Amino acid sequence: GAEEGAGSSDAAVGKQSSVRAAASCVLSFLPQIFSIVVFGSIVNECYVNKDSQHPELLCIFNENESACSYGIAVGLIAFFGCIFFFVVDLYFQQISSVKDRKRAVLLDLGFSGFLAFLWFVAFCFLANQWQRTTLTRGFSQGADAARAAITFSFFSIIIWVVLALRALQRYRLGTDMSLFATEQFGTDPSAPYPGYPGGSGVESTETYQSPPFTETLEPNPKGYQVPAY
C-alpha cells in the first residue's frame, strides 16, 4: 500500500511538472503569435486605396499613418523581445551568478510590464481611429484585418500582464527560496574555505571492532606434539 501511494504521488508530481512545462511553453509562444497577427495584418491588408480616384495607399485607420506605424512597431518589438527572453529562459539555469539571475528576472518583469502598457496604448489608439474611419469601398476590403489587429492587441494586453505576474512570482520565489540561492564563495582570493568539522580527538572503545579475516591461534594445535629432548 505504501509503495502504491508513493508511486501515485510520484506520478501526480510528474503530471504537474508536465502541465507547468506545457503552460510555460504556451506562454512563451502566444505573445509571438499575437504580435505576428497584429503587424502582419497591418502590413499586408491595412494599407489600401480609398477609392478609384485615390490610387495611393492609405492607412485604413482613419487615414492616420501614425496608427499603422505604431501598431507595426509594437508588434515587432514584442516579437523580437519574445525571442530574446526565450533564449534567456533556456540558459537561465546555466547562469551561476546570483546577481545576473536577479537582473535577468527583473529585466523580464520590466519588459513584460512595459509591453503590456504599449499594447494597451495600441489597442486604444487603433480602436479609436477605427471608430472614426469612414468605410468606403476600398477601405471595406481591409476591414477584417483591421478588426483582427485590434482584437489581438487586446489579447496581447492580457498575455503580457500574465507574463509580468509570472516574472514577479519568480522574483519573489527566488528572493525567498532557492532560485537565486546558488551563491558562490567570496571573490576575495585570500578568503579561507570553511573548515571541516573536527571531532573531539578521543575515540570511543565501544565502537571498536576487530579487523576482519583474523584467526585466533591456539597454543597447542590439534595433532601436533612438542618433541621431548
Q: What is the mean pLDDT of the chain?
A: 77
> For the residues 184-201, what does the mean pLDDT come to?
48
CATH code for the part of the protein at 14-183: 1.20.140
- CA neighbor of 40 nearest in space, from 91, 87, 93, 79: 79
Instruction: Using pLDDT thresholds of 50, 70 and 90, give the confidence band for residue 208.
Output: very low
Answer yes or no: is pLDDT of 186 > 50: no
Q: What is the pLDDT of residue 98?
A: 84
What residue spans define the domains of the chain?
A: 14-183
CA 151 to chain centre: 26
* Residue 205 DSSP code: G
Using an 8 Å Cβ cutoff, are 70 and 46 in contact? no
Q: What is the pLDDT of residue 174?
A: 72
Backbone angles phi, psi at 55, to 5 degrees: -75, -15
Least confident of 33-47, 56-70, 171-185, 212-226: 212-226
Q: Which set of grid coordinates corresponds to residue 36?
A: 505576428
Secondary structure, 3-state, 142-174: HHHHHHHHHHHHHHHHHHHHHHHHHHHHHHHHH
Q: How confident is the model at residue 22 (pLDDT cuts 50, 70, 90)?
A: low
Closest CA to 77 of 167, 169, 160: 160
Least confident stretch, 4-18, 54-68, 115-129, 144-158:
4-18
Confidence of residue 116 (pLDDT cuts 50, 70, 90): very high
Average pLDDT over residues 143-163: 94
Q: Give the position of cell 571541516.
A: 196
Burial code (b: 16+ CB inside 10 Å, e: under 16) for 163-191 equals bbebbbebbeebeeeebbeeeeeeeeeee
d(CA 121, CA 154): 10
R_g over Cα of the chain: 35
Gap between the Cα atoms of 56 and 60, Å rounded: 12
pLDDT at 72 over 70: yes
